[in-house]
Amino acid sequence: MAGSNPVVCGSIAGRPGRFGVAMHTAAYRALDLDWVYVAFGTQDTAGAVAAMRTLGLRGLGVTTPHKQRIMTHLDAVDQTACAIGAVNTVVNNDGHLTGYNVDWIGAVRAFEEVTALSNKRAAVIGAGGGARAIVFGLIHAGCRVTIYNRSQDAGRAVAEATGAAFGGPPAALVDAERFDILAHATPVGFHAPDDMLAPLAALHSCMVVFDAVPTPVETRLLREAAAAGATTIPGVRMQLHQAAEQFRLYTGRDAPFAVMERALFEAMQSR
């Protein structure tokens, strides 16, 4: 309608990226929706939620460091997000804010592009909101999961909450039985691209290695894994699949996946 205001969605992160904006914007255009998507950089979780209410944002993507602490600021949290203990998507229905977690869907779909998951042995490095979602998704898909984390108290807590095993710090992967899947879900490699937590000796050619870090697209972990002959999955594949699920929650329509995938590829090429 002429003169009407567009519907606004967005995302909050400590360090906002461009990929979400590119994918959502392309999807809105493909379906001729008068919607816009904006990425906000902030450390203020409560302030971001208040702004969402005040400005009437329809949807909000939630990334580090907000995924766990945003939960207490919402009116409701979906059962799956409660089980995971983290929210990565907020939907505003006439001022009522509901939190969801679709990271786990993104992770599972990214893995299923290259491997079957049932009965696989998976190691997950990390114990934050992203790691919790990946652990939940892998267990839901039939994997046997072991968590490795630098803070052993935090790692044990997530293992107990999810039904996973706890294997100790990441260095302990060297002495562990070989895994079919290795998923890294900490910020290591994001701020310092040459850093990695997984020991080189834990990488092997029969393994699928996933790094949730979205940028750089090819982290050191993925380079080292490829050199060892492993199949690798960059974090942007998870980001793409969860963005498609966010689109469905925001609009009530199926996402134009190929359009979003092409927009992601173009955004990656233009970096």
Residue 173 phi/psi, 5-degree rounding, is: -60, -25
Closest CA to 133 of 150, 152, 110: 110
Please list the active-site residues.
67
> What value does the CA radius of gyration of the chain take, rounded to a whole number of Å?
18
Task: Locate 62 and state its tokens.
Answer: 């939630």
Q: With contact defined as beta carbons under 8 Å apart, do 141 and 268 qualify?
A: no
Q: For residue 208, give every residue at least 6 positions away whose Cβ sits within 8 Å of its Cβ, in sequence order, or none.
A: 111, 114, 115, 180, 181, 182, 230, 231, 232, 233
- For 19, 30, 250, the CA distances from 26, given in Å and listed in that order, are 11, 6, 15
Cα dihedral value 56, 60, 65, 69, nearest 10: 60
Name 252's Cβ contacts closer than 8 Å, sequence gap at least 6: none
Please say whether the beta carbons of 93 and 151 come within 8 A: no
Closest CA to 208 of 192, 193, 221: 221
